[in-house]
Amino acid sequence: MIQTINSVFKAQQAHKYTLRNSNATQRINKLSALKSSIEKYEKDIYTALQNDLRKSEFESAVTEVIFIYSEIDFAIKNLSNWMKPQKVGKTITGLMATNRIYYEPKGLCLIISPWNYPFQLMMAPLVSAIAAGNCAILKPSELSSETSSIICRIIDDCFTEEEVCCFEGDAALSTILLNLPFDHIFFTGSTAIGKVVMEAAAKNLSSVTLELGGKSPTIIDDTADLEQAAAKIAWGKLTNAGQTCIAPDYILIPADRQDSFVEHYKNAVTRMFFLTDGALDLSSYAKIINKKHFERIEGLIEDALSKGASIPFGGKKNPSTQTIYPAVLTGLSEESEIMKEEIFGPVLPIITYQTTQEAIDLVNKMSKPLALYIFSKNKKNIHQIIKNTSAGGTCVNDVLIHISNPKLPFGGVNASGMGSCHGQFGFKTFSHERAVVFQSSLDMSKLIYPPYEKKGWVLKWLRKLM
């Protein structure tokens, strides 16, 4: 395996200089070929996601496949403009100069993707890497092995190894790859592993993009429509059984609205995910990825209950099908582990507050989240929360949908990530913005050359102009 990896790495190192000179038409053709290959294997993708995560075909289409078709189409439509050198303004020392920003490929990139949205979270950065003119080595998650296998088949179908190559394997493979001097590393996964990736990248001074996670709060104020909020939160929380990096992680709500919200949430969850006979509809509700994660979530619930929390709704578990039913936790202690780590499961803790500032303070006590959600009709409250908190992205009166707009950057801050992706932001992530100045023969730079005697007037003149 090491010999094969080194051989591919060496081939891509050589080929990246050819790709550097590729034009928009050539890159668009590659993106079109990728889309055609995905279309060819679309049914196989749905089967793989069903087997890995018990995702329904509809959910897989919306959150994984159609999402990537949209990303590809947006890149194809806009790539020619993205690649054009950008004009910028002049300075006093270059009044006659021409200034441009050129977008050049980073070169040879490593993309490591997770298991929760295994197709989308590999293909989205790959689309950006191709659009920017890079070579890439891909390492999908071994936990979603069937989807990983399909990803590698798609790549083999439309790329040569010297341009894009996919390797399947566990953490040992990641360690081998991270020791190589990539020009850029794009990692999606947990904050803990993100630190490992960044440490490894530092040894080779590889630039990194980290798409991580964290505890994404949802603040509901006393003006919010609870029925509407509950329905949106239920969808956002329980899509993929809560195994979503931007899922609403916990709720902050005025104490006198908690019971009403729980009732609306229960009704929304029942309507969306339960059959008429009261049984959970497993055809539309994903499973927990494996036994380890099942037991981790189970442990978080048990720890919260042992510290005084209660479950007003849900809480049933079925180890044989790796299913944790939708659940709500109230009366939580600050010492509960579920309030210290990202849940990544279908359990919704609810914390009550008295004032908007108290809710803000609770959010700011934790690491900066990947997403923050606000449900309110009060513009003053909305802007107060946005202004006084930090998050990778925010939705007001909705959840998740900001990730679907390729005109918006998607990414975290500090513990929830570094850098951004999607659309032009992804193109720039995989590009180096190179400053280029074309100096005119009529320039004023010599005014600041030595000798400096009798040039005090130049400093006075510069101070007035700058």
Residue 33 is part of a domain; what is its CATH number? 3.40.605.10
Percentage, residues of the chain above pLDDT 90 = 91
Using the predicted structure, report yes or no on whether residue 453 has a pLDDT greater than 90. no
Q: Is 176 in the same domain as 206?
A: yes
Q: Is 202 in the same domain as 223?
A: no
pLDDT at 466: 65
Residue 458 lies in a domain: no
Structure tokens that stand for 361 in this block: 């303070």
Using the predicted structure, report yes or no on whether residue 93 has a pLDDT greater than 80. no
Q: What is the mean pLDDT of residues 285-307?
A: 97
Residue 409 lies in a domain: no
Q: Is 226 in the same domain as 360?
A: yes
Q: Is 251 in the same domain as 346?
A: yes
**The domain that contains 246 carries what CATH number?**
3.40.309.10
Residue 326 lies in a domain: yes
Q: Is 255 in the same domain as 106?
A: no
Average pLDDT, the chain: 95
Number of domain units in the chain: 2
Q: Is 173 in the same domain as 247?
A: no
pLDDT at 334: 87
Q: Is 73 in the same domain as 195?
A: yes
Residues with a known catalytic role? 211, 245
Residue 454 lies in a domain: no
pLDDT at 95: 76
pLDDT range class, residue 460, cuts 50, 70, 90: confident
Q: What residues make up the domain containing 244?
A: 217-404
Residue 256 lies in a domain: yes
